[in-house]
Amino acid sequence: MSARDLSELRNEVDRLDDAMLDLLIERMAVVQHIASLKGDRDLGRLALRPAREAMILRRLTARARGRFPAASLLQMWRELLGATTSAQAPLRICAWEPEGRGAIRALARNHFGTLAPVRSAETAEEALRSLGDGSAQIAVLPLPEEADRWWRSLLGDGSRPLHVVSRLPFLDGSGHSHPQAFAVAALDPEPSGIDLSLLVFETTPDISRARLCEALHAAGLAPRPLATLHDDAESSVLHLIELDGFLAPGEAPLAACLEPLGSRILRVTPIGGYPRPLSEAELG
């Protein structure tokens, strides 16, 4: 290849870079128009819409069909979505990174982008409090383990209920040991078409977690129990379980599968709904 060919091809790359940047600028202007319609800033609300973002990312990775590395595509668009969300309304993050549970702050940064400041909290409770006092709009916490109790506070009937709205990272490298986290915000979950739900089942102590999961399995809900808490008076037990689908209590098939357990199910409270992360296998 001659020096002339190389310089022509580099000119072509420069032309494409300019065109891509012009498109990003044009996209940002459309997002600002969307922002004025949604009115999140005036309502003191987060501009983030995890379901819409997941639909964009799934569509683009399918469209790329391996012609551009999917993991890079996802990371580039996560940065873009972070920039467009930050441009609409404040987006500050408070992350709880307990010892030995992985790089949660880095996970938050990779997901929400470089523009969103990530502050550290000493405890999960402190991270959740930051949502109440307005010093952050998103709390990022590692997936609960048995000893964690923070998820219990999402059961409260606050005037602006907090929900788990995302599971991080969006590209799930299951099989590798990598940290996973929940993003909590004062935002109502919306369905993206392929979703997971996080529910708290309050039961009488005489039914085991295994029995509860068996009933959920039978309805094809693929339960993944995360944690169980016994209340001080031993009169009820709280089970935190992630299920396939965007579910609401009282809705079929949840209501139907719990019916045989009768009055031993005291209460079912959804505390989260979020897009199911893409698996590496799905990317092909």
Q: How many CA atoms lie within 13 A of 24 on its CB side?
A: 13
d(CA 24, CA 87): 13
Following CA atoms 55, 222, 252, 239 in sequence, which dihedral angle do they give, to the nearest 10 degrees? -110
Residue 252 CB, nearest approach to ligand ISJ (Å)? 30
- Contact residues for ligand ISJ, defined by CB under 6 A: 31, 34, 47-49, 52-53, 56, 81, 84-85, 88
Q: Which is nearer to ligand ISJ, 38 or 152 (CB)?
A: 38
Name the residue number minimizing CB distance to ligand ISJ: 84
Would you say 31 or 261 has its CB closer to ligand ISJ? Answer: 31
**Least distance to ligand ISJ, CB of residue 45, Å:** 11
Q: 148 or 195, CB closer to ligand ISJ?
A: 195
Nearer to ligand ISJ, 85 or 110 (CB): 85
Given the complex with ligand ISJ, which of 56 and 103 has the nearer CB atom?
Answer: 56
What minimum distance in Å lies between the beta carbon of 215 and ligand ISJ?
A: 36
Instruction: Name the minimum Å distance from CB 202 to ligand ISJ.
Output: 32
